[in-house]
Amino acid sequence: MVIAAVHTDAVRAASQFEACLAAVSADRRSRVRSLVHEDDRRRSLCAGLALKVCLNTVSLCEAAEPIVRDEHGCPRLRLHPEWHFSLSHSGEWGVCALAESPVGIDVERQRAVQAERLAERYFSPQEVTWLKTLTESERQQAFFRLWTAKESVLKAQGVGLSGGLSVPIGCGDTLLAPSPWQLREYSLPGYAVTVCGTEVFPQELLTFSSFDSALLR
């Protein structure tokens, strides 16, 4: 498994944006160009670049890989269906997880929300009870930890948010997903990042916080 994160500063300059846009798949270029707001375009492009980094790491060429979508809209590599990938973006980061078995990743920018009220709407009673045992600042962080855990499981299952957020998560210092899924949380300051899969997780993210020629290879 390979996991990569690319910061929007990597495509801040117009020349960098265009060079990176040319380096990603036709599917990603189309999605980027369909977005109205510049910040959304940068985030989407960075997710595509994170996929490119992951594929280059395992000696596949993303730019030449046609992307197809299944009945749930989940993207797949048409020429290498044995590989699975998942994309996410939020705030100033785009992320990707690539594995030889189903995988899901989600990133969310930590921000002030009505965590308890949202949890009562979307989470299970057990999860809500756990959140209520925490201090307010802990509750804010824990809410996004749970949210990204749930989304990553749903993505690994291939259903995404269409499956709702009812997937149960074991709460505590370590979050637990239903068998056979496993979760791994990664450190990205100001963000919650969770990956779900069945393979051994890498120790660290491959992180690019500024423009790097490696993004174009």
Q: Residues 204, 162: one domain?
A: no
Q: What is the pLDDT of residues 97-143, one digit of tens each?
A: 999 999 999 999 999 888 889 999 989 999 999 999 999 889 999 99
Dihedral, CA atoms, 19, 192, 90, 156, nearest 10 degrees? 80
* One domain for residues 6 and 55: yes
Range of the domain at 167: 106-198
Q: Are residues 62 and 74 in the same domain?
A: yes
- 26 and 99 inside one domain: yes
Query: Same structural domain for residues 93 and 2?
Result: yes
62 and 111 both lie in a single domain:
no
Give the count of beta carbons closer than 10 Å to the beta carbon of residue 70: 9
Residues 156, 212: Cα–Cα separation, whole Å = 30
Give 26's pLDDT tier (boundaries 50, 70, 90): confident
Domain count, the chain: 2
Residues in the chain: 217
**89 lies in the same domain as 181:** no
- The token duo for 154 is 């749903």
Q: Tens digits of per-residue pLDDT, 132-182?
A: 999 988 999 999 999 999 999 999 998 766 667 778 999 989 999 999 999
Cβ-contact 37, 45 below 8 angstroms:
no
Based on the domain organization, do 19 and 54 belong to the same domain? yes
- Residue 60: the pLDDT is 80
- Is residue 53 within 8 A of residue 214, CB to CB? The reply is yes
Q: Which of 75, 54, 52 is nearest to 1 (CA)?
A: 54
Based on the domain organization, do 154 and 208 belong to the same domain? Answer: no
- Secondary structure letter of residue 173 according to DSSP: S
What pTM does this model have?
0.92
Least Cα distance to 94 among 206, 212, 214, 199 occurs for: 206
The type of residue at 140 is Q
Check which CATH number belongs to the domain holding 121 and give it. Answer: 3.90.470.20
30 and 123 housed in the same domain:
no
- Are 95 and 117 part of one and the same domain? no
How far are the Cα atoms of 9, 32, 40, 151 from residue 36, in angstroms, in the given order? 19, 9, 7, 25
**Same domain, yes or no, for 82 and 131?**
no
